[in-house]
């Protein structure tokens, strides 16, 4: 019974939620992918057994729970599905979007994924392998590489944190120079290509398991040992403005971050979408770096300038890049290699966690120095 329900009340259970609990039937969003499985296979992309016609749960009648079986894994996001590319066996991600309700997502994404933007060294937008329309439907599908949340695995050094956002600011500067405002730069739209960091491929829907779902994955290499590239994804709310529109404005607030000062409750406020992008990235650093790790407190004044309540006083992207570059150059190599420590060590004894973390990071640092790994781990060109 719900906490707020009166005694004796009947609580209606959503059929999809019930299906989520027992995993024996597909959710409504999963049915869409199952119904398109054969067509996708003809296009060269095979879905997991759960989404193939005639699927029968492999754990049924075994006496075991769905946790032990790959086909017990549900869809994590209604519009995003993992698949195997039949040409080479590589795992890719398929993103479905509506050409009717997200009419600008396709053109903007493909603009960034096509030449000359594709080869620009400062382009950190979503890499796109392929785009195709679904015949007779309003939907199209992007084929993308496997990306993960930028904060996974955890940061270990100051240099790893600084390099992460150096790339994000570089990518955002490229977008703004292309007159593109993202308009939804929340935490889950900043991603990492961490595939090189893992000793073996992980399962997209269960990252602690290997791709074959037979064993847990081994501990990943550090970001310093295997420098990753970071990406800005999801251009469903983005806008690209003409070059002669030097001061574009929007009226409707968009995006998941509703703390933007310009978004005054439910009131429609004319705002600068580029200034909103700056605030949102600053908010990501505030909430997912400064509040999570010890060791990056020197970034606070810079982040405050990005989160300036008055958008007219807020830093522009060129100012952000210039100021951030100065911050990096002011750090000595030993400051870049200094560890960042989680403020909440996931319930472990604080003192024991500190010793274990320090010892591991010390050995990692010695290894990085001996193998000439940069303290500011930039990915290979």
Q: Within the chain, what is the greatest distance between any pair of CA atoms?
A: 69
The residue among 22, 20, 37 whose CA lies nearest residue 82 is: 37
Asked, as a colleague might, if the bond just before 153 is cis with ω within 30 of 0, I would say yes
Residue 49: C-alpha distances to residues 71, 255, 306, 338 (Å): 6, 34, 46, 46
Q: What is the pLDDT of residue 267?
A: 67
Q: Is 187 helix (H, G, I), strand (E, B) or coil?
A: helix
CA distance 30 to 24: 12
The residue among 128, 131, 149, 148 whose CA lies nearest residue 140 is: 131
Q: What is the pLDDT of residue 102?
A: 80
CB atoms within 10 A of CB 62: 10
CA distance 179 to 274: 9
Residues in contact with 160: Cβ distance below 8 Å, sequence separation at least 6, in sequence order: 222, 223, 224, 340, 377
The residue among 67, 55, 81 whose CA lies nearest residue 22 is: 67
Residues in contact with 150: Cβ distance below 8 Å, sequence separation at least 6, in sequence order: 164, 168, 187, 190, 191, 192, 230
Going by the DSSP 8-state scheme, the letter that residue 125 receives in this structure is B
Q: Which residues pair with 143 in a beta bridge?
A: 94, 130
Q: What is the pLDDT of residue 23?
A: 76
Asked, as a colleague might, if the bond just before 116 is cis with ω within 30 of 0, I would say yes
Going along the chain from its start, the domains and CATH numbers come out as 27-144 (3.30.200.20), 148-370 (1.10.510.10)
Cβ proximity of 55 and 38 under 8 Å:
no
Q: Please state the separation of Cα 38 from the chain's center in Å.
A: 29
Q: What is the pLDDT of residue 371?
A: 79
Type and span of the H or E element at 206: strand 206-210
The residue among 269, 300, 275 whose CA lies nearest residue 285 is: 300
The four Cα atoms 320, 322, 324, 327 give a dihedral, to 10 degrees, of -150
Planar angle of CA 133, 134, 140, nearest 5 degrees: 50
Q: What is the pLDDT of residue 61?
A: 81
Residue 107: C-alpha distances to residues 114, 253, 281 (Å): 10, 21, 24
Residues in contact with 184: Cβ distance below 8 Å, sequence separation at least 6, in sequence order: 234, 236, 237, 238, 254, 255, 256, 257, 280
Q: For the chain (length 381 residues), average pLDDT per consecutive 10?
A: 39 50 81 96 97 91 84 89 96 94 89 96 96 94 96 94 98 98 96 94 90 90 96 95 92 87 77 97 98 96 97 97 98 94 66 64 77 88 71
């Amino acid at each position: 019974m719900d906490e707020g329900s009166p005694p004796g009340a009947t609580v209606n259970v959503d059929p999809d939620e019930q299906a989520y609990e027992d995993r024996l039937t597909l959710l409504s969003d999963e049915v869409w992918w199952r119904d398109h499985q054969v067509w996708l296979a003809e296009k060269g992309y095979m879905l997991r057994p759960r989404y193939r016609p005639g699927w029968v749960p492999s754990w049924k009648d075994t006496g075991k729970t769905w946790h032990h079986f790959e086909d017990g894994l549900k869809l994590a996001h209604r519009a995003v599905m993992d698949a195997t590319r039949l040409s080479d066996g590589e795992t890719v991600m398929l993103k479905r979007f509506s050409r009717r309700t997200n009419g600008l997502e396709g053109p903007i994404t493909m603009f960034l994924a096509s030449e000359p933007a594709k080869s620009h060294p400062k382009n950190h937008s979503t890499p796109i392998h392929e785009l195709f329309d679904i015949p007779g439907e309003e939907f199209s599908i992007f084929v993308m590489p496997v990306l993960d949340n930028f904060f996974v695995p955890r940061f270990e050094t100051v240099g790893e944190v600084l390099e992460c956002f150096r790339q994000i600011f570089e990518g955002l500067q490229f977008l703004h120079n292309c007159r593109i405002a993202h308009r939804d730069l929340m935490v889950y739209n900043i991603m990492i290509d961490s595939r090189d960091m893992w000793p073996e491929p992980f399962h997209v829907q269960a990252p602690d398991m290997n791709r074959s779902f037979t064993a847990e994955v081994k501990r990943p290499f550090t970001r310093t040992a295997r420098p990753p590239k970071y990406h800005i994804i999801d251009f469903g709310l983005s806008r690209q403005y003409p070059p002669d529109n030097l001061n574009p404005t929007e009226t409707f607030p968009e995006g998941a971050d509703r703390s933007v000062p310009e978004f005054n409750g439910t009131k429609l406020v004319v705002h600068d979408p580029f200034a909103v992008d700056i605030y949102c990235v600053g908010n990501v650093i505030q909430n997912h770096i400064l509040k999570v790790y010890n060791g990056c407190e020197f970034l606070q004044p810079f982040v405050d300038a990005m989160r300036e309540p008055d958008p007219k006083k807020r830093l522009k992207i060129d100012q952000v890049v210039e100021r951030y570059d100065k911050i990096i150059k002011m750090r000595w190599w030993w400051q870049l290699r200094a560890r960042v420590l989680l403020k909440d060590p996931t319930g472990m004894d604080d003192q024991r966690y500190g010793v274990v973390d320090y010892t591991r990071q010390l050995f990692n640092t010695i290894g990085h120095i001996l193998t000439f790994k940069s303290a500011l781990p930039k990915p290979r060109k």
